[in-house]
Structure 1
Amino acid sequence: MKIKGSGLADGTSEENSSWERNMLEKLLLEVYREQRRNRIWRWFWRLFWLFIIIIVITSLGSAKPSGAHTAVIDLDGVISSDNNQADLLRKSLKEAYKNSDVKGIIIRANSPGGSPVISSIAYEEIRHLKAEHPRIPLYVVTEDMCASGCYYIASAADKIYADPSSLVGSIGVIGSSFDFTGLIDKLGIKRRVKIAGSNKDMGDPFVPETPEQAAIWQQMLSSIHKQFIQAVQQGRGNRLKIADNPDIFSGRAYTGEEAKAVGLIDDFGNVYTVARNVIKAPELVDYTAETGWSKRLGKSIGSTLQQNIQGMTNKPW
């Protein structure tokens, strides 16, 4: 009897232990499922509100500003085919000219210059669009710097304004490279280059430059410089005091104060004073293509959305 009693007790204990284990497993599984459901809904609502915000921002960005205002377009950074300021300016100006509430346009310039080709294209596009919309004044306002290719573009404007401490001008062309021929000679290195055409290796820093090639380079630079000068003279006209300042086209930069004295700018001012006192429309609206505040914010939201999606897919449910 004792043996049977002992066996019955052991069986009951094992059965209870199995039942507790099963219940614990079910409880843990249910907790896991509940956590997973909560996580799914949490991410759902995050994505939902991000979607709503994107819709609101997009609608605000696509809406045209109403009421009289001044359109502001940024021209900044090195002018190059990578940045393609000519295309950005063209798109920005077209958008500004579409709005009948735009009373004037300011190109806010802050650039050291760059590509003469992109500068020339931008110059021609500004003049073309100005001719199509003669009643809308277009001004360039210089912040820290509007030099070289930037000034090339600026000379197409109706007027140029700058701070007395701004740097303006630098009407010149530069081309530079290095000559490593002496270095490789010292290192005992021989350059092997095959060309078809006596000037095909012009500019190669490991090949000596001939007098003829140096003359070709100078001729090209002088030709581009001449085009630059013609564009500035066409845009600025008799406002340039060339007779008294023969170094205007020497490539030197002027402070805003000096630039006004030689006719490179028309007056002192910034975007606020020009909009308020010249255009008479103090409200500023950014028309810069692809870099307006709504698009920047939209890109930021898009980046956040992408990170959230990645985080959601990378976490185990």
Structure 2
Amino acid sequence: MTAFAKTDTDAPARPWYKKLIGMGGTTIPVVRLQGTISPESKQGRLNIATVSPMLEKAFAMKKAPVVAVVVNSPGGSPVQSRLIAQRIRQLADENDKRVLVFVEDAAASGGYFIAVAGDEIIADPSSLVGSVGVIMASFGFVDAIAKLGIERRVYVAGKNKSTLDPFQPEKQQDVDRIKSLELAIHDVFIDYVKSRRGSKITLPDEEVFTGEFWTAKQGLSMGLVDGLGEMYTVLRERFGKDAQIKLIGPKKPFFSLPGFGLSSQTAGSDLVGDVIARIEDRANWSRLGL
């Protein structure tokens, strides 16, 4: 139990009239971050543009002793992950508030990057955490288009402009260049985890920063998380049984209101994009067996 925590025994009793109307308990703002991390602002995606307004609203609650952030993400864009984590820390420092991160199914890869921005990480024993690594994936269709009798014609200015073109044979120099980029991004990830949790991690770098993920129960002994538990129970143990949990959600776009329907052409385009996004998201979760 940390020094700032309150328990049921030291939480002041609420007057009967405040209990009657549901007032008087400590209010804890909760921001829920669920989904793949991506620059695309589609449903189920996380990025700085969609997340920042929710964080700002949560941290603006001056009387709240902490801000709780629920993370449930298999990862995604390293840039958006870092921007979200950085924004959490900026707001925490500006408002002098601690951040409690609660992990649900997973805080993996970019999801773990965001979780590390918390002052404490609390997860379900079966949550998946870690995956401190970088992955880039593509396809190769060279043999397929050859069988179909299709000839690929590419004209570029800049010899590396067509790096990893899926319709051309793979080039070793392209692979080497991509791997060097991955290593650079991986270093940024490792440095951030060390800056936030370096004193807590109990294993050497070569065992932690492999891209592997673990259950939170395993991660607790490794120093990847600080405790095991569930948000509602933990918050009420610390701030009293009358603690009020206030979920901070995104604002609905104006044009999503009734009477502002999309044209059939726009709706069709959005539908195709949503299907592709769902397939990509499913693949990201599948990497974790979820």
- Give the whole-Å Cα distance in 2 for the aligned partners of 1:121 and 1:156: 11
Any idea what the Cα deviations from partners look like across 1:118-171, whole Å, max 9, x if unmatched?
Answer: 00111111111111122x221110011111111111111101010001111111
Equivalent position amino acid for 2:188 in 1: Q
Q: Identify the match of residue 275 of structure 1 among 210, 223, 235.
A: 235
Q: Identify the match of residue 168 of structure 2 among 194, 207, 223.
A: 207
Q: Identify the match of residue 63 of structure 2 among 80, 86, 101.
A: 101
Equivalent position amino acid for 1:102 in 2: A
Q: Is 1:252 paired with 2:220?
A: no
Q: How does 1:298-317 map to 2 (within 5 A)?
A: 302-303=257-258
1:89, distance to aligned residue in structure 2 (A): 3.2
Identity fraction in percent: 36
1:23 maps to which residue? none
Q: Identify the match of residue 82 of structure 1 among 30, 33, 40.
A: 40
- Give the whole-Å Cα distance in 2 for the aligned partners of 1:158 and 1:306: 42
Q: Identify the match of residue 124 of structure 1 among 58, 61, 86.
A: 86
Q: Is 1:172 paired with 2:130?
A: no
1:265 maps to which residue? 225
Q: 8 Å contact 1:87–1:122 — kept in the other structure?
A: no
1:299, distance to aligned residue in structure 2 (A): 9.4
- Give the whole-Å Cα distance in 2 for the aligned partners of 1:145 and 1:130: 23
- Give the whole-Å Cα distance in 2 for the aligned partners of 1:288 and 1:66: 22
Which ranges in structure 2 are unaligned for 5 or more consecutive residues? 1-22, 262-290
Q: 8 Å contact 1:67–1:101 — kept in the other structure?
A: no
1:210, distance to aligned residue in structure 2 (A): 1.5
1:90, distance to aligned residue in structure 2 (A): 2.4
- Give the whole-Å Cα distance in 1 for the aligned partners of 2:209 and 2:217: 17
- Give the whole-Å Cα distance in 2 for the aligned partners of 1:127 and 1:97: 11
Structure 1 residue runs of 4+, over 6 Å off?
none
Q: 8 Å contact 1:140–1:157 — kept in the other structure?
A: yes
- Give the whole-Å Cα distance in 1 for the aligned partners of 2:98 and 2:236: 14
- Give the whole-Å Cα distance in 2 for the aligned partners of 1:270 and 1:85: 25
Which ranges in structure 1 are unaligned for 5 or more consecutive residues? 1-64, 308-317
1:230 maps to which residue? 191
Q: Identify the match of residue 161 of structure 1 among 122, 130, 153.
A: 122
TM-align CA RMSD: 2.4
Equivalent position amino acid for 2:207 in 1: D
2:156 maps to which residue? 195
- Give the whole-Å Cα distance in 2 for the aligned partners of 1:237 and 1:74: 26
- 73 and 264 in structure 1: CA distance in 2 versus 1, 3 angstrom threshold: same
Q: What secondary structure does 1:176 align onto?
A: coil
1:92, distance to aligned residue in structure 2 (A): 1.9
Q: What secondary structure does 2:198 align onto?
A: helix
1:66, distance to aligned residue in structure 2 (A): 6.9
1:186, distance to aligned residue in structure 2 (A): 3.1
Q: 8 Å contact 1:201–1:207 — kept in the other structure?
A: no
1:279, distance to aligned residue in structure 2 (A): 4.5
Q: What secondary structure does 2:132 align onto?
A: coil
- Give the whole-Å Cα distance in 2 for the aligned partners of 1:109 and 1:117: 17
Equivalent position amino acid for 1:256 in 2: A
1:68 maps to which residue? 26
1:143 maps to which residue? 104
- Give the whole-Å Cα distance in 2 for the aligned partners of 1:251 and 1:128: 27
The structure with more radius of gyration: 1
- 164 and 299 in structure 1: CA distance in 2 versus 1, 3 angstrom threshold: farther
Pick the structure with more helix per residue: 1
Equivalent position amino acid for 2:47 in 1: Q
Query: Aligned residue pairs: how many?
Result: 234
1:67, distance to aligned residue in structure 2 (A): 5.0
1:207, distance to aligned residue in structure 2 (A): 1.0
Q: Is 1:288 paired with 2:277?
A: no
Greater CA drift, 92-101 or 117-126 = 92-101
- Give the whole-Å Cα distance in 1 for the aligned partners of 2:59 and 2:150: 60
- 113 and 279 in structure 1: CA distance in 2 versus 1, 3 angstrom threshold: farther
Q: TM-score, structure 2 length as denominator?
A: 0.74
- Give the whole-Å Cα distance in 1 for the aligned partners of 2:260 and 2:182: 48
